[in-house]
Amino acid sequence: MATNRTFTMLKPDAVRNGHIGAILDKITATGFRIVALKMTQLTTADAEAFYAVHNERPFFGELVAYMTSGPIVAAILEKDNAVDDFRKLIGATNPADAAEGTIRNLFATSISENAVHGSDSDDNAAIESAFHFAGREQF
């Protein structure tokens, strides 16, 4: 069952490079409603747990170091077909392959420092949302 919600993080490079406002503006201009929002910083244990599915990949250590390197902005977004539409809005993992006008095309630095996270399924959107937000922080 589609929940019409997805989870995103504006990653440390996007925050460091001053893109919070521009990225949130693009997200809301595309029709997503922000139903939860916070600035926070992941601990090593947080990042290892959040990205546990990638723990055998060669880039895992670098990913955890990067994701804990500074504050992030976490949000839950609501829209019809939220998960798929948001993956379209952010573009391919590697910004070199991300379509013109996508968030990663506009704001990402590299395949690792790629500005934003977007959930890849409704199940993961629910798991990732609960990882970051208590029920009373979700509207």
Q: Which two tokens stand for residue 30?
A: 């595309």
Distances (CA, A) of 92 to 41, 87, 116, 133: 24, 8, 11, 26
Helix (H/G/I), strand (E/B), else coil: 48: helix
Q: H helices of the chain, where?
A: 12-16, 20-29, 44-50, 60-67, 82-90, 103-107, 122-132
| Partner from ligand UDP, Mg ion, none contacting 126, C-beta within 5 to 8 A by type | none
114 binds, among ligand UDP, Mg ion, none (CB under 5 to 8 A by kind): ligand UDP
Query: What angle, rounded to 10 degrees, do the helices at 82-90 and 122-132 form?
Result: 80
Task: Mark 71-110 with x for binding to Mg ion (rule: CB under 5 A) and - for no binding.
Answer: ----------------------------------------
**Cβ-proximal residues to 101 (8 Å cutoff; 6+ apart), any chain:** none
Q: Does 114 bind ligand UDP (CB under 6 A)?
A: yes
**Contact region for Mg ion (CB under 5 A) — 18-26, 36-44, 113-121, 128-136?**
113-121
Assess whether 54 carries a catalytic annotation: no
Q: Is 120 in the site for ligand UDP (CB under 6 A)?
A: yes
Candidate residues 43, 44, 93, 121; the one interacting with ligand UDP per rule CB under 6 A: 93
If one asks whether residue 63 binds ligand UDP (CB under 6 A), the answer comes out as yes
Active centre residues (catalytic): 117
Residues that bind ligand UDP (CB under 6 A): 54, 59, 62-63, 93, 111-112, 114, 117, 120
